[in-house]
């Protein structure tokens, strides 16, 4: 009789539908859990992307500042090299016991023209500047030799240049 009553009232059908709904509900819970995990992953990815963007923005800012500094220096150098005022500067100087003194100079065209007008001749700029440097060394040595004074002290001979 219970079977007949269940069948008449449609309890079996309702139980089947209830089980289907529970399975569907479990599917929704699983989908919601997966969606929450995906959302958490996306939030972490967005946070990481924001951090990386901040790092990249800082790098771009630094690169812009370096580029600006470089452009200012480049413009200043261009003005310096195009100047009609002659100049020469020592870029580097070093001493090596085996090779001696090494000096690297930089100059503008006006300096080379000044040397040419002063009578220094050469096949190229480097040769003209090297001759000028040789004249400078020679002149300095002559002046230093004429002003050297040797005197004795407790440790030996000392040369003073005054």
pLDDT in tens, 92-145: 999 988 888 888 999 999 999 999 999 999 999 999 999 999 999 899 888 887
* Between 136 and 5, the higher pLDDT residue: 136
* Between 159 and 13, the higher pLDDT residue: 13
What is the Cα 138 distance to its own chain's centre? 43
Which residues, at least 6 apart from 155, have a Cβ–Cβ distance to it below 8 Å?
none
* Between 78 and 148, the higher pLDDT residue: 78
Task: Kindly state whether residues 89 and 45 are assigned to the same domain.
Answer: no
Decide if pLDDT at 27 tops 90: no
Residue 107 and residue 91: Cα distance in Å, rounded? 10
At residue 162, the pLDDT reads 44
Decide if pLDDT at 2 tops 70: no
* Between 63 and 8, the higher pLDDT residue: 63
Distances from the Cα of 160 to the Cαs of 33, 79, 143, 150, in angstroms? 90, 42, 13, 7
Region of residue 10 (left: phi > 0; alpha: psi -120 to 50; beta: else): left
Decide if pLDDT at 18 tops 70: yes
Of the candidate ranges 62-76, 117-131, 143-157, the one whose mean pLDDT is the lowest: 143-157
Helix axes 109-117, 125-147, angle to 10 degrees: 70
User: Does residue 32 lie in a domain region?
Assistant: yes
Bridge partners of residue 148, in order along the sequence: 161
Domain boundary among 46, 77, 108: 77
Please state, rounded to an integer, the average pLDDT across all residues of the chain.
87
Closest-CA residue to 89 (of 70, 62, 108)? 108
User: Does residue 157 lie in a domain region?
Assistant: no
Cβ neighbour number for residue 87 with a 10 Å cutoff: 13
Domain limits for position 66: 7-77
* Between 78 and 3, the higher pLDDT residue: 78
Bridge partners of residue 95, in order along the sequence: 101
User: Does residue 153 lie in a domain region?
Assistant: no
User: Does residue 1 lie in a domain region?
Assistant: no
Task: Kindly state whether residues 59 and 104 are assigned to the same domain.
Answer: no
User: Does residue 152 lie in a domain region?
Assistant: no
Number of structural domains (the chain) is 2
Residue 155 and residue 47: Cα distance in Å, rounded? 73
Q: How confident is the model at residue 161 (pLDDT cuts 50, 70, 90)?
A: very low
Bridge partners of residue 100, in order along the sequence: 96
Alpha helices in 83-151 (DSSP H): 109-117, 125-147
At residue 154, the pLDDT reads 46
Hey, is 124 helix, strand or coil? coil
Decide if pLDDT at 46 tops 60: yes
């Amino acid at each position: 009789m219970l079977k007949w009553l269940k069948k008449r009232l449609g309890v079996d059908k309702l139980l089947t539908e209830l089980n289907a709904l529970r399975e569907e509900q479990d599917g929704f819970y699983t989908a919601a859990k997966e969606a929450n995990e995906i959302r958490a992953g996306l939030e972490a990815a967005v946070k990481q992307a924001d951090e990386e963007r901040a790092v990249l923005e800082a790098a771009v800012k630094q690169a812009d500042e370096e580029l600006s500094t470089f452009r200012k220096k480049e413009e200043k150098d261009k003005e310096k090299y195009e100047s009609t005022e002659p100049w020469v500067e020592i870029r580097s100087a070093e001493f090596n016991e085996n090779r001696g003194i090494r000096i690297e100079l930089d100059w503008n065209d006006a300096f080379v023209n000044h040397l040419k007008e002063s009578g220094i001749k050469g096949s190229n700029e480097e040769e003209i500047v090297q001759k000028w440097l040789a004249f400078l060394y020679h002149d300095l040595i002559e002046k230093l030799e004429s002003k050297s004074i040797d005197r004795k002290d407790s440790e030996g001979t000392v040369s003073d240049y005054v």
